[in-house]
C-alpha cells in the first residue's frame, strides 16, 4: 500500500470523525490504492454537463414514496 493512501485514510477518517484501528490501517490503505485506480478511470471520462443522476428506468417511482429523485 502507498504511504499516500495511509495519510489520506487518516485525514479522511478524521474529517468523518471516525477512528481507524491501527491494525487495519495498512489494509484500508491497500484498498484505497485499488479504489484510486478505479476512481481515476471514472473521473477521466468527459461527461456533458446535462448528464444527470437519474432513476435507472423511466418508469414511475412508487406513488407513496417521497423520494422521486432518488438516484437509481
Partner 1 sequence: MTGATEARIAAVLDRIGRHDGVLNCFTTILSGQALAAARAQDARDAAGEPALPLAGVPFAVKNLFDVEGVTTLAGSKILADQPPAATDAFVVRQLRRAGGILVGCLNMDEFAYGFSTENAHHGRTRNPHDPERMAGGSSGGSAAAVAAGLVPLALGSDTNGSIRVPASLCGVFGLKPTYGRLSRAGAYPFVSSFDHVGPFARTVRELALAYDCMQGDDPHDPVQCTRPIEPTVFGADARPPRVARLRGWFDRGSPEARAAVDRVAEALGGAGDLDLPETDRARSAAFCISASEGGALHLPRLSLRAMEYDPATRERLLAGALLPAAVLVQAQRFRSWYRRQVLTAFEQYDVLLAPATPCMAPRFDDPTILLDDAPVPARANLGLFAQPISFIGLPVVTVPVCEVGALPIGVQLITRPFAEALGLQLAERLEAVGVAGCQALDYV
Residue (3 or 67) nearer to partner 1, CB: 67
Angle at 41 between CA 39 and CA 43, to 5 degrees: 65
- Residue indicated by cell numbers 471514472: 42
3-state secondary structure of 52: coil
Between residue 5 and residue 64, which ones bind partner 1 under the rule CB under 8 A? 8-9, 12-13, 16-21, 24, 27-32, 34-35, 37-39, 41-43, 45, 47, 51-57, 59-64
Q: Exposed, middle or buried, 56 (CB in 10 Å: 0-12/13-18/19+)?
A: exposed
Q: Where do contacts with partner 1 occur on this chain (CB under 8 A)?
A: 8-9, 12-13, 16-21, 24, 27-32, 34-35, 37-39, 41-43, 45, 47, 51-57, 59-67, 70-72
Amino acid at each position: 500500500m502507498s504511504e499516500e493512501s495511509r495519510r489520506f485514510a487518516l485525514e479522511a477518517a478524521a474529517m468523518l470523525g471516525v477512528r481507524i484501528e491501527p491494525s487495519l490501517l495498512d489494509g484500508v490503505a491497500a484498498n484505497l490504492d485499488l479504489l484510486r485506480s478505479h476512481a481515476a478511470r471514472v473521473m477521466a471520462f468527459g461527461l456533458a454537463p446535462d448528464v444527470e443522476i437519474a432513476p435507472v428506468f423511466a418508469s414511475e417511482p412508487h406513488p407513496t414514496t417521497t423520494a422521486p429523485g432518488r438516484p437509481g
